[in-house]
Amino acid sequence: MEEEKFLKVGLKEKIILLVLQVMLPFVMYIAIDREIQPLGIAAAILLTVSMLVLVVFG
């Protein structure tokens, strides 16, 4: 029997991941440019989580 995935990443979820992976680096750029460190770290964490979701459940 095929193991059921805890989280299924379908087309809608992949679109969300794609938008996040395109937008978040630009947030990091703004954070570097204006020296807003917490914003940069938050964007980096979110980006890492989005990539982790893709690798584990994609």
Partner 1 sequence: MDLPLTFWNWLLAFLPVLIVVVMMLAFRWGGSRAGGLGWFLAIFVAILSFGAGFKLLAVAQVKAVLLSLDVLFIIWSALLLFNISREAGAIRMIGITLPRLTGDRVMQSLLIGWLMVSFIQGLGGFGVPVAVCAPMLVGLGYTPIQAVAMASLGDGWGVTFGSLGTSFQSLMAVTGLSYEELGPLSALLIGIASFPSGLLVSVIGNGWKSLKRALLPTLLLSIVMGVVQYLLVVNGLWTLGTTGASVVGLLVGFLLVRLPTFRNQAEDSEAVELPKDNKGNEKSLWLSLLGYEILVALAFVVNLVPSVKSFLSPVVLSLDFPEVSTRYGWVTLAGPGREINLFAHPGAILLYSCIISYIIYRRIGYLEKGALKKIFGNVLKSGVNSSLGILAMVGVASIMMHSGMTFLLAEGLSVSFSREVYPGIAPFIGALGAFITGSNTNSNVLFGVLQQNAAELLNLSVPLILAAQTAGGSLGSVLAPAKVIVGSSTVGLAGEEGAVMRKILGYGLITIVTVAVAAVVISFIGEW
CB nearer to partner 1: pick between 1 and 22: 22
Instruction: Count other C-beta atoms under 10 Å from residue 20's C-beta.
Output: 19
Q: Of 1 and 11, which has the nearer Cβ to partner 1?
A: 11
Taking the complex as a whole, how short is the minimal distance between the CB of residue 10 and partner 1, in angstroms? 10
- Residues interacting with partner 1, by CB under 8 A? 11, 14-15, 17-18, 21-22, 25-26, 28-29, 31-32, 40-41, 44, 47, 51-52, 54-55, 58
HEC profile of 20-50: HHHHHHHHHHHHHHCCCHHHHHHHHHHHHHH
